[in-house]
Amino acid sequence: MDSIIVQCNDCGAKNKIPAAKQHLGPKCGKCGQRLNISQNVVPVELSDTDFQDFIQDIQLPALVDFFSPTCGPCRMLAPVIDSLARKYFGRLIVAKLDTSRNQMTAMHFQVRGVPTLLFFKNGQPIDQMVGAAPEQDITQKIEAII
Ligand SMILES: [Zn+2]
């Protein structure tokens, strides 16, 4: 699982935050102040092992990018997904799943091509977009569910 490094605004300590815990209000390990991580947020990389638990536990809606590392349109979409993760931090959780290594989850949600974006609310898929859609179109979908 990925992690991010966030410097504390108060004491300057560098904190290593697991990507899956970014949305849980992490605090500085040294001084206990809440960390401002909105500029450091990255999509949470999920796998067959942790996908269901993560999606069931989160309190916010989620956007999951089903991608494959060898797919050109997926690579084009990746910076858009990264930017949406920061833009909607606190309102929407952005995650991604590598379908080449996690086929069970992809099959479970009947993802047939990549990239596919699945939108979740209350642990259930409620909408999807297939293909590398323009950021504006993705934003419209997000605004409709948050
Ligand atoms: Zn601190």
What is the CA(137)–ligand 1 centre distance, in A?
39
pTM for the full model?
Answer: 0.94
Is 74 in the active site? Answer: yes
Question: Are 48 and 119 within one domain?
Answer: yes
Q: Do 9 and 60 lie in a common domain?
A: no
Whether 81 and 116 share a structural domain:
yes
Q: Total structural domains in the chain?
A: 2
For residue 5, give the CATH number of its domain: 2.30.30.380
Mean pLDDT of 29-37: 95
CATH of residue 74: 3.40.30.10
For ion ligand 1, residues whose CB falls within 5 Å: 8, 10-11, 13, 28, 30-31, 33
CA of 25 to the centre of ligand 1 (A): 14
Q: Give the tens place of pLDDT for each residue, 47-100.
A: 999 999 999 999 999 999 999 999 999 999 999 999 999 999 999 999 999 999
Examine the domain organization and report whether 1 and 64 are in the same domain: no
Phi, psi of 17 (to 5 degrees): -115, 125
Q: Say if residues 146 and 92 touch (Cβ distance below 8 Å).
A: yes
Is position 71 annotated as part of the catalytic site? yes
Residue 28 in tokens: 């500085």
What range does the domain containing 129 cover? 44-145
Coil, helix or strand at residue 104: helix
